[in-house]
Structure 1
């Protein structure tokens, strides 16, 4: 008997209102699809790869199984290079985990020039990137199934 799909949502909470809107969009897609999910918060985008890796280690120890992962958050450009370092480091680390562990990942991390751009992209009645990240995760879960990959 196969297990029911379960998705892990990792939310970077640095911009809490943006994170809430992204999570609202993702949750709506998962609810509509009848997919169970857990939400876990981290302080910022930089911490998202570590949280995903913690989940992988937990799955390896048999504690829990996730069929997919959705990472949500926002980085807004400031006056220093901090934006570049956080964005590129987190994206590269998440890609490495995705490829190394065959994770069905939906990437919903906004990289914006300003707060207004972030609101536009996060809002469920606008670009709704949280929903898009959830749809991507579901599609990648289906693709893993197509390739007969087991849930890690």
Structure 2
């Protein structure tokens, strides 16, 4: 791991406008910290854990690409009229957490789980709660914690 962290920002693009605002917050925080990053779009929140796992496992097969030091998961689930909301929330969160714990990843979780678009915008907006920026900051803080414990990539 170099002194300048390299971050994978995984963006669930189902709610494209909200995804863009979350990414704007995350990228702003990464720029302020001096980190490098790669934005990776996925269709929805259920695909976020798989995308992170693909990046981790790809190092077993292709070592020429720079390893990511941390991961930022961004997306939004808005409650609808069916129970799909509950499944999307639970499974995306469980998947992200499982991958992070299994592979000792520094991860910032910026997946919003809200009742409506108004709540989503309050949480996503850079000028408001800026959950994308908070997720990026959490990722960077976890990278620092890994360094304290001398947990470097193998």
CA deviations over 1:32-62 (Å, ceiling 9, x no partner): 1110000000000011111011011112332
Count of residues paired in the alignment = 152
Quote the offset at 1:3 in angstroms: 6.5
Moved segments of 4+, more than 6 Å = none
TM-score by length of 2: 0.95
Q: Counterpart of 1:143?
A: 145
Note if contact 1:71-1:108 (Cα within 8 Å) is conserved in structure 2.
yes
Give TM-score, length-normalised by structure 1: 0.96
The residue aligned with 2:47 is: 47
User: Hey, what does 2:58 align to over in structure 1?
Assistant: 58
Name the structure 2 match of 1:16: 16
CA RMSD of aligned residues (A): 1.3
In structure 2, C-alpha distance between the alignment counterparts of 1:60 and 1:143, rounded to whole Å: 25
Cα 1:58–1:3 change in 2 (3 A) is farther
Aligned counterpart, 1:32 = 32
Q: Which of these residues, 95, 107, 110, is aligned with residue 108 of structure 1?
A: 110
Q: Is the 8 A contact 2:122 2:129 kept in 1?
A: yes
Distance (whole Å) between structure 2 residues aligned to residue 4 and residue 30 of structure 1: 10
Q: Who is 1:117 aligned against?
A: 119
Which ranges of structure 1 fall in alignment gaps of 5 or more residues? none
Query: Aligned with 1:24: secondary structure?
Result: helix
- Asked if structure 2 preserves the Cα contact closer than 8 Å seen for 1:75 and 1:87, the reply is yes
Map 1:77-96 onto structure 2 (within 5 A). Answer: 77-96=79-98
